[in-house]
Amino acid sequence: MNQTIRGYTLTQWLGSGGMGEVYLAHQPAANRVVAIKLLRQAGQADRFKNEAAVQASLRHPHIGLLYDFFVEKELSCLVMEYVEGPTLEQVIRKHGPLPEPTAWKLLGQIASALAYLHDRDIVHRDLKAGNVKLPRPDKAKLLDFGLARLANSPRLTRQGYLVGTVSSMAPEQFAGESVSASDCWALGVLFYEMMTGYSPFGGSTESEIGQLIQKANYLPPTRLNPAVSPASVQLIDRLLTVSPKARLTARQVLELIENPASLEGPQWAGPIRKWWHKLNH
C-alpha cells in the first residue's frame, strides 16, 4: 500500500474508527508519521466535520492532536497525531488489573483531559478503554472525538437515539441526554476496569446492560480483586452514581487524587450514599 492523498502516503491499515478507516501515513513535507481517518460514507460527512471542529482547537498533553482536515475527491480526511502503543483495553485484556498506583496515575491524566474538555463545554460521549492509548505504561492519550459535541453545536442525532458504547454509557444517556457528568460516569467504568480487569456492567444483551446501568447495579470491585483499596472503592462508588448531579466532576476527581485520604471514610458511607441517591433519583 502506497496510495497518496494530498501529500500524505498511506503505508498501513490500522483499523476502523467510529466513522471510517484509519491508516498510518507518512508526510514527507513535515517528515512525520501521522494517522489518517478516511470517511467513506458521504452521509456521515457532517459528523466528521464536527469531529474536526471539536478537536482542532484542543491542546492538552493527554489528548491526541488534530493536524489537518480536508476533502479530497469527495473523501473526507482527518489527519491526526499517531500515538504509538497499545490501547488501555488491549493492556487490560492481556495483563488483567493494573497496579493501583498506575491506575490512579492514568485516572488522573484522563480526568485532567476531561476537565480540560468540560471547561470548554465539550462532552466526549465515548470515553472507553479502546479510545485511550498508552504510549508508555504510565501515560494516557485520549483519542477519537467522533461522538464529541460542543454544548452549543447542532444535535447530530435525533432525541432519544443512543450515542456511545453501551457498557460505558451513563443512565441519562439512555434517555438521549449526554452531559459532562456522563463522561465522569464513563471515567468510573474505566477505573473499575483498570482495578478489576472486568466491566462493571456485564449483561449478555444491551437491554440487560442498560437495566444494570440505570440502577448502578454492579459487583463490588473487591469481589473481583480483593486488593482494591477502600479509597478506590469509594472513588468508583462516587462516579458510578445514578444522579448526574451527585456524581463527582472531573475536577473533583483530580482534587481527590491529590488527597486520597479524604476518601477513607467509614465502611458504611459508600452504601448509604448510593442508597440515598437511588431513593432520590
Contact between residue 35 and residue 14 where contact means Cβ atoms under 8 Å apart? yes
Q: What is the pLDDT of residue 47?
A: 65
Q: How far apart are CA 121 and CA 131, in angstroms?
A: 20
Specify the pLDDT at position 159. 37
d(CA 264, CA 92): 26
Q: Give the dihedral sign, CA 184/48/19/163.
A: positive
**Residue 167, C-beta contacts closer than 8 angstroms, at least 6 positions apart:** 128, 189, 199, 201, 202, 209
The 3-state DSSP class for residue 161 equals coil
Could you tell me how many helices (H) and strands (E) the chain has, helices first?
9, 10
Angle, to 10 degrees, between the axis of helix 180-196 and the axis of helix 88-95? Answer: 30
- Residue-level pLDDT, tens digit, the chain, 281 residues: 678 889 999 999 988 755 678 899 999 988 999 999 887 766 666 666 766 777 778 899 999 888 888 888 878 888 888 999 999 999 999 999 999 999 999 999 999 999 999 998 888 888 999 999 999 999 999 987 654 555 444 333 433 334 457 889 999 988 888 899 999 999 999 999 999 999 999 878 888 999 999 999 999 999 999 999 999 999 999 999 999 999 999 999 999 998 887 776 555 445 445 544 554 44
Query: C-alpha dihedral over 245, 113, 216, 178, to 10 degrees?
Result: 60
Angle CA(117)–CA(149)–CA(164) in degrees, nearest 5?
100
For the range 201-209, what are the long-range contacts, defined as Cβ-Cβ under 8 Å and sequence gap of 24 or more? 201/167, 202/167, 206/166, 209/166, 209/167
- CA count, 13 A, side-chain hemisphere, 111: 26
pLDDT recorded at residue 153: 42
State the CB neighbour count (10 A cutoff) for residue 76. Answer: 24
**CATH for the stretch 88-280:** 1.10.510.10
Number of C-beta neighbours around residue 266 at 10 A: 8
- Number of Cβ within 10 Å of residue 58's Cβ equals 18
Q: Tell me which fold the domain 4-81 belongs to.
A: Phosphorylase Kinase; domain 1 (3.30.200)
Domain residue spans of the chain:
4-81, 88-280
Contact at 8 Å (CB) between 54 and 142?
A: no
Q: What is the pLDDT of residue 264?
A: 65
Residues catalogued as catalytic: 126
pLDDT reported for residue 18: 56
